[in-house]
Every structure is written in C-alpha cells, then in structure tokens.
Amino acid sequence: MKFKGFSKSKAAGVLGLLAFGGLMYIMNRAVPKIADDYPFSFIWDGKNHGNLTAGKKRYRRVKNLKELVYSQATHYMTWSGRIIGESMNQAVLMKDDKKLYDILNTGVSLLWLLLCVRGGRGRKALSGLTLPLAALMGAGYFLSTPHFAATSMWTTGAMNYSWPGIFQYAYLLPYAFKYRDPEYTSNRALMALMGFLAGWSNEAGGGAALALSAAATLRSMKRGEDTGFMICGLAAAFAGYALLMLAPGNFRRYKWEIEFSDVIPEDLSDPGIVPLKYNYTPVMFKHHFKNGFLSTLKGTLPMQLPVLFYFLNNKEMNSDTTRYILLLEGAALLVPSVLMLSPQFPVRAAFLSGPFVMSAAAAAFEGRVTGDPASPVEAVKILSYTALGVSAAVRYAAALIADADLYMQTREQERIMLKTPENETAHIPEIMISPFYLKIAGDRTIDEYIKWYIGYEENPDGPYNRSAAAYYGAKEVVAYEPEDHPYKKKDKASLKEQILRPLRSFIKRFFGDLRE
C-alpha cells in the first residue's frame, strides 16, 4: 500500500531518525545519576550559600510543585538566574525516574535533528528527508555538540544546555524563514512566549539568540517588510534575558565566590576559568581563545564537510543558499565569540554553536553523487563521508562502553551507601575511567572533567559527598582511590584489563538484568 506524499526515500529517512533515537536511548541508559544531580535533588539552601558549597548539613528533597517553586525562587535570589533550565532539572529529579528521563531526553535528541534539518532546508524540509541526510544529522549531533556527554546526556547538564537550546533555536526559526521568504509571518503571541523562554534560558545561547533576532529584525525593517511578529519576539527575548542576567543571585554568587570559594583557580590550569587578576586582560582573551573558541570550532569541523563540498561543486551553487549558509556559519561563530567576553568559558556553554553548523550542513548537503564517481572531488566526497560515519560509530561504541563501566561503578557506590547506617561513614571506591576508551571517545563520554565531580572527594564536607550521603541515608561519604587498579598502570596485564573490564561492565549493564 502506498501513502500519498510518503515516498520510499522519506520512509527511509524516518527509519534513519528512529535508528538514531534508539542509539541515543541506549546511551542514555548507560549514563548514571551523577554530580549536580544529587545537590539539585534537594530544596535550594539560600541561607547557606546554596547546595554546591562545602559543609552543608541539612538537606530536604524536593517532593512537590510548591517546594519546587520555593526552591527556584531561593535559587534565583541567591545563586543564578537560570530558572528555566533548573526548574526542568528539579522537576525531573523530583520524579526520580531515570528511565523516564532517558525517554524524554531521547525525544529531545530527535527534536534537535528535526529542528536542524528544518533550519537548514526551510519550512518544507521534512518532505525531502532522506536516509543519507538523517545519517549526516545523527553523526553531526553526536560529533559536533560541544562536550556531548555534559550537555546532552547528563541530566543536569542537558537541562542547562540541550533542553533550553530547543527554546533558543525554535525561537530563531521564524527569523530564518523570514530571511528566506519576505512574505513569511508568524503568530505574535507564540513568538513572545518563545522569545521569553529563549532569553531566560542560559547566558551564551540566550545572548546569541537575542543578538541574531535583533539583527534579523533590523534587516527586515530596512527592507520595509512586515516585522510585527519579529518585534514581539525580540521584545520578549530582551525581557527574558534581562531577568536572567539581572538576577540578584548572580551578584550574590559572584561576591561569595570572590570572598569564600575555592572554585576560582589561582593559575591557568583550568581551561574554562581564569584567576580574578586576569579578568578582562589579554591573558584572559588568549586563554579563552585557545581553550574555548578554538576547541568549539575544532569540534564542529566534521559538519563542515558538506559545506566544503558545496563550495567545491560550483555548478550546484545558488546565491541565496550560499548567503544563507554563510549566515548560519556566522551564527555558529557568534556563540563562542560572546563567551570570549565572560570570565568563564567552559566549552559546554557554546552548545548552540553545534546546531547552527548542523543546519549549514543540512543546507549544503547533497545526498547523491552529482558528478563522475571517478573524479577526484567525488572520490574524496565518498571517502570523507565514509570516514565521518566510521568515526561516529567508533567513538559512539567507545563512549557507550566507557559510560556503562562508570554506571556499574556508581551502582557499587550506591550499594555501599545504602547499606551504611545513618550514623556511620560510607567508604566508597573512587570512580576510575579506562584510559583506553577515554582516548577514543574523548568528551563524548563522561570524561575526566565530569569525573572530578562524581569521584567524591576524600573530604566528607564536599558538596557532592554531603548531598550523596543525604540522598542515600549515610552520615557522610568518603572516597578512597582503589589500590593497584589496572586503570592506573601500564603493564601488559593492566592494559589488557583496561579493555576487558569495561566490556564486562557493558555486558552486565545491558544484559545482566533486563528488568532495569
């Protein structure tokens, strides 16, 4: 039976998206509850510098909507303006159902692919969805997203970056449609809502969305086009961004970190933060350019292949498409450029840069061999896309195995903490990461940076130790580094174990108990 408007190529594209969704769901199941997931499971303690400070004694879980609202109001007044992301975060953590989160986060991953295709191809993009395009977008989302595990898999990370990013990108889509079609218009009330959510999302993405929509609005106004919906969205985005940036908590947190916190380093060892003495000096900009700006660009290089081949294939170039691709590339550069002006530039904050490059790739992508397969350009194109696919597959497998290994280690930590009486200290082994899989997967997995948060310090007063102890019912938590661990050694037997132990963990995670 044939369905009108549903060709075999489109059916193959839909199947490609579903396959990608399946892969993302499996990876979500391998990522455990970690790091800030524990402190944010509790009502925010504004009287004692919040839940991410050392020495906190009293914890009370967020159990209902009333407590969530109170927690977020306190968070806004004493710590940060990120109400949108942190409200979603505490709502998900309040439910305490990791499988539900994994399903929802898989849906967000699929939505990102659809938005990027639509952003690149236009309003009727999905009618031209093919399997090669779906595969390209899937590989692009995995390979080009800055610090993929931190922004798209980890619960608290996703709530601060990939989920709010949906609001930012969806808000910008009508402006993109207007750029390509001067007659396009959108519902003003919906634009106001999306603008407000986009502006009040996070600092870098919200700022980029505000700047891009402002530029698009000015362009249309100069051309004498109807800009009613654009102005509504822009005004709401400005209001949301003001609420984000002018939150009292931002100033209180900054003052507290200067006076009491040891978060700010004393040297340039942290790639995302500089000491206070270097703020807004050439040292800061050089540090951010090397560790943030260039790292963001390097991560998006795989998705530049379609753009490169578009410009090499001069016969297929279209002036409107060319200008639009360059606009998307400029938007991708804007995000890390905004972050260059901040004292802190963690690469994960440049999340929105990846989707812009993916949309540029979607606009430039030609899914078939358009010329002589024996010609050098076409041969390079085939080899390049094959290498891209192989790279995504290998890094995905390595990340999945590494995350499954971490999952099983956290299960052991949980077991010990749950068995520890309320008046006793839980001694748990520190989480170790196989250097073999980490070298292949990089920051596609829960890497050493995030492990710093989830290994649990030897100091029981650390915020992650305290919150984990309260979560599982122990008096306190102290971590110890396992002696003679094969992940720390380089002898032949240890190198072999660095490969085999994570594989055993992977089998236990996904085949040991199918009821989980």
In a domain, 225, yes or no: yes
pLDDT score for 278: 84
171 within some domain: yes
Within a domain: residue 71? no
For the chain, helix, strand, coil in percent to 5 are: 70, 5, 25
Asked if residue 2 belongs to a domain, the reply is no
Give pLDDT, residue 141. Answer: 94
Q: What does the pLDDT read at residue 173?
A: 94
In DSSP notation, 74-113 reads HHHHHT-S-HHHHHHHHHHHHHT-HHHHHHHHHHHHHHHH
Asked if residue 418 and residue 358 are part of one domain, the reply reads: no
The residue out of 338, 368, 398 marking a domain boundary is 368
Look at residue 1 in the predicted model and tell me its pLDDT: 42
CB count, 10 Å around CB of 492?
Answer: 8
Residues 318 and 453 in one domain: no
In this structure, are 255 and 326 located in the same domain?
yes
Q: Which long-range contacts (CB under 8 A, 24 or more apart) does 209-216 make?
A: 209/168, 209/171, 209/172, 209/237, 209/352, 210/234, 210/237, 210/238, 210/241, 211/334, 211/338, 212/172, 212/175, 212/331, 212/334, 213/171, 213/172, 213/175, 213/237, 216/175, 216/176, 216/178, 216/179
Spatial CA neighbour of 130 closest among 16, 210, 19, 233: 16
Domains: count for the chain: 2
| Domain match, 331 and 463 both | no
Q: Could you report how far apart the first and last alpha carbons of the chain are, in Å?
A: 38
Does 243 reside within a domain? Answer: yes
User: Same structural domain for residues 279 and 245?
Assistant: yes
Q: Write down the pTM of the prediction.
A: 0.90
Query: Which SS3 state, helix, strand or coil, does residue 157 take?
Result: helix
Kindly state whether residue 64 falls inside one of the protein's structural domains. no
Q: How far apart are CA 393 and CA 388, in angstroms?
A: 9
Residue 453 and residue 324 share a domain: no
Residues 359 and 405 in one domain: no
356 within domain boundaries: yes
Asked if residue 16 belongs to a domain, the reply is: yes
- Given 368, 400, 425, the domain boundary residue is 368
Kindly give the parts of the chain with pLDDT less than 70.
Answer: 1-6, 55, 123-127, 259-264, 314-317, 367-374, 448-458, 513-516
Residues 103 and 169 in one domain: yes
197 within 8 A of 237, measured Cβ to Cβ: no
pLDDT score of 262: 58
Cross-strand bridge partners of residue 273: 344
- Could you identify the residue written with the tokens 């579903």? 18
Range(s) of the domain holding residue 402: 390-512
Do residue 443 and residue 303 come from a single domain? no
In this structure, the answer to whether residues 309 and 456 fall within a common structural domain is no
End residue of a domain, out of 306, 336, 368: 368
- Same domain for 308 and 407, yes or no, is no
How much is the pLDDT for 492? 93
Do residues 404 and 359 share a domain?
no
pLDDT value at residue 4: 53
Inter-residue contact 139 to 17 (CB < 8 Å) = no
* pLDDT value for 3: 47
Maximum CA extent, the chain:
75
